[in-house]
């Protein structure tokens, strides 16, 4: 039975993370926003050392056997919410398991999980990234053109193509000995059935970061283009069982969807943390101006600002509950494609609405760089773009409810 009370173990973790957010994120938020492509190493090294001391990697959703009921994804959602309350861009620089490792966890064999994820427990911070998007293949992931061809003589996969908008790609390949997961097709005529994920490790010849984006928001996080030119990876770096190679079923695409089912609620949690930060700062700024929210009064007696703030609180809370349901389902092994996309749609809408309204209510102070409201307004937009845009996740929700396949409702 789902329980909305935060488990005690998670409360403890969040208390620690709040200290990190207060002391290592907020004070440098503006600096890393204004100095795009600078790396917050103090934060990164601290998170890495802390995670090692606890015997794991910062962002792994794994459960220890001692824990009783599985709460790994719930814990991750709470951690991400709190880190994003600190700074949604710096949070994306957390070492030890992001989208690339989510793909490894969702699609890899037990041996591959151990081989690739063990490096996060090493001495230096290590990063990972996931490369799906290409020019002409964003929302329609089945249109990817990056190819993987098996060299039968050397038993290596040869990858060719270009990936764009890769979060943390620079950190994974250049700033650390990490890895990226590249989605490529082993049969361009087969559409989604030909898609497979491949791990490309830092330092692999033929894999190069070619461009760093300059962005509207989450500027503390690097977003890059990556070119793969005759890039050879070992046969065993295809994620999942090698036997699926000859199988025409949609194993690869299902792997992509399984990855998104796990990661979309986490992206939603990022949005919720940012929205909560905004609402709290808004209320503080209003209080400084002598405006407090008179909860409990009949609605007709409230000012329009009070109504706005209360409406925002309702939106925030309802969106967070959708996230909690989606991660609870992950933890309990229940199919959650519907809840995962729902939580992402809702949280994306809510964070954009709350940050926009906060800037509007505070007027010039909302627009000024003296406060973080304008930054958070810019940081919010990404929640509605990556891991499937708002429109695409709405399509997923509609298909799930109506029982349509993607070919029937697009
Ligand atoms: C900062 C940033 C970081 C990113 N990080 C990553 C990453 O780490 N890895 C990765 O692989 N990708 C990443 N992306 C890419 C992101 O996932 C894509 O931008 C997103 O999926 C949209 O794809 P697109 O840009 O090609 O837009 P398009 O697919 O061209 O869509 C353009 C617009 O049309 C709408 N649209 C498209 N199809 C439909 C439809 N059928 N019905 C209704 N509306 C539709 C979309 O919602 C969107 O509004 C990142 C993007 C950004 C901006």
315-368: pLDDT as tens digits: 999 999 999 999 999 999 999 999 999 999 999 999 999 999 999 999 999 999
State the Rg of the chain over Cα.
Answer: 21
Helix (H, G, I), strand (E, B) or coil at 258: helix
Does the structure show a pLDDT above 60 at 152?
A: yes
Q: Is the pLDDT of residue 381 over 80?
A: yes
Smallest CA separation from ligand 1 atom 48, residue: 389
Calpha distance 340→228 (Å, rounded): 31
**Measured between alpha carbons, how far is 185 from 145 in angstroms, rounded to an integer?**
7
| Rounded Cα distance, 249 and 245, in Å | 10
**pLDDT given for residue 70 in this prediction:** 84
At residue 246, does pLDDT exceed 80?
no
Q: Are 188 and 138 in contact (CB under 8 A)?
A: no
Give per-residue pLDDT as tens, 177-226.
999 999 999 988 887 888 999 999 999 999 999 999 999 999 999 999 99
pLDDT, position 250: 42
CATH superfamily, domain at 254-402: Butyryl-CoA Dehydrogenase, subunit A, domain 3 (1.20.140.10)
The pLDDT score that the predictor gives to residue 66 is 55
Span 8-32, average pLDDT: 96
pTM of structure: 0.95
* Alpha carbon of 132 to ligand 1 centroid (Å): 10
Question: What average pLDDT does this structure show over 268-289?
Answer: 98
- The HSE-up count of residue 50 (CA atoms within 13 Å, CB side) is 15
- The overall average pLDDT reported for the chain is 93
Q: Which residue's CA is the closest to the ligand 1 atom numbered 44?
A: 391
Pick the closest to residue 268 from 311, 315, 225 (CA basis).
315
The half-sphere exposure of 149 on its side-chain side, counting CA atoms within 13 A, is 11
Rounded Cα distance between 277 and 243, Å, is 47
Residue 67 has pLDDT above 70, yes or no: no
387 is catalytic: yes
Which of the following is catalytic: 8, 162, 387, 408? 387
Q: What pLDDT is stored for residue 2 in this prediction?
A: 77
CATH domain 124-250 topology: Butyryl-CoA Dehydrogenase, subunit A; domain 2 (2.40.110)
Confidence of residue 4 (pLDDT cuts 50, 70, 90): confident
- Of the pLDDT bands very low, low, confident and very high (cuts 50, 70, 90), residue 244 is very low
Over pLDDT 70: what percentage of the chain? 95
**Structure token pair of residue 375:** 């930054």
Mind listing the pLDDT tens digit for each residue in 75-104?
A: 999 999 999 999 999 999 999 888 999 999
- What is the pLDDT, as a whole number, of residue 240? 84
The answer to whether residues 231 and 160 touch, using CB atoms and an 8 Å cutoff, is yes
Question: Ligand 1 centroid vs 211 CA: distance in angstroms?
Answer: 18
CATH topology of domain 8-112: Butyryl-Coa Dehydrogenase, subunit A; domain 1 (1.10.540)
**In the chain, what percentage of residues exceed pLDDT 90?**
82
Q: Which residues line ligand 1 (CB under 6 A)?
A: 99, 129-133, 138-139, 165-167, 215, 223, 382, 385-386, 389, 391-392, 395, 410
Ligand 1: centre distance to CA 385 (Å): 6
Domains in the chain: boundaries: 8-112, 124-250, 254-402
3-class DSSP state of 344: helix
Mean pLDDT for the stretch of residues 153-173: 98
How far apart, in whole angstroms, are the C-alpha atoms of residue 80 and residue 94?
10
Is 295 buried (19+), middle (13-18) or exposed (0-12) by CB count in 10 A? Answer: exposed
Encode burial over 240-257: b for 16+ CB neighbours within 10 A, e otherwise. beeebbeeeebbbbebbb
pLDDT (0 to 100) of residue 15: 95
The residues pairing with 228 across neighbouring beta strands, listed in sequence order, are 161, 207
Give residue 242's pLDDT band: very low, low, confident or very high (50, 70, 90). low
């Amino acid at each position: 039975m789902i329980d909305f009370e935060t488990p005690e173990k998670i409360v403890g973790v969040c208390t620690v993370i709040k200290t990190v957010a207060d002391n290592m994120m907020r004070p440098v938020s503006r600096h890393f926003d204004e100095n795009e492509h600078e790396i917050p190493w103090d934060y990164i090294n601290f998170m890495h050392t802390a995670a090692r001391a606890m015997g794991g990697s910062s962002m792994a959703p794994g459960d220890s056997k001692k824990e009783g009921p599985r709460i790994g994804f719930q814990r991750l959602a709470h951690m991400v919410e709190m880190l994003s309350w600190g700074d949604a861009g710096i949070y994306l620089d957390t070492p030890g398991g992001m989208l690339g490792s989510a793909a490894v966890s969702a699609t890899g064999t037990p041996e591959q999980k151990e081989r690739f994820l063990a490096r996060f427990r090493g001495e230096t911070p290590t990063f990972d990234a996931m490369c799906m998007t290409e020019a002409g293949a964003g929302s329609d992931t089945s249109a990817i053109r990056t190819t993987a061809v098996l060299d039968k003589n050397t038993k290596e996969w040869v990858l060719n193509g270009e990936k764009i908008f890769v979060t943390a790609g620079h950190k994974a390949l250049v700033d650390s000995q990490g890895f990226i997961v590249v989605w490529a097709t082993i049969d361009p005529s087969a559409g989604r059935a030909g898609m497979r994920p491949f791990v490309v490790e830092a330092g692999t010849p033929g894999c190069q970061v070619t461009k760093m984006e300059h962005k509207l928001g989450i500027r503390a996080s690097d977003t890059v283009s990556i070119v793969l030119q005759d890039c050879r990876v070992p046969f065993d770096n295809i994620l999942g069982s090698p036997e699926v190679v000859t199988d025409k079923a949609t194993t690869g695409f299902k792997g992509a969807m399984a990855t998104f089912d796990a990661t979309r609620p986490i992206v939603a949690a990022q949005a919720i943390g940012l929205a909560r930060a905004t609402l709290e700062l808004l209320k503080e700024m209003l209080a400084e101006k002598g405006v407090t929210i008179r909860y409990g009064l009949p609605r007709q007696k409230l000012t329009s600002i009070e109504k706005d703030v209360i409406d925002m609180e309702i939106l925030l809370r309802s969106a967070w509950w959708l996230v909690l349901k989606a991660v609870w389902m992950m933890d309990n092994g229940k199919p959650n494609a519907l809840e995962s996309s729902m939580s992402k749609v809702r949280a994306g809408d809510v964070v954009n609405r709350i940050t926009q309204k906060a800037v509007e209510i505070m007027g010039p102070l909302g627009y000024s760089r003296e406060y973080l409201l304008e930054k958070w307004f810019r940081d919010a937009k990404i929640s509605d773009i990556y891991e499937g845009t708002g429109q695409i996740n709405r399509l997923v929700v509609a298909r799930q409810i109506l029982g349509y396949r993607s070919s029937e409702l697009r």
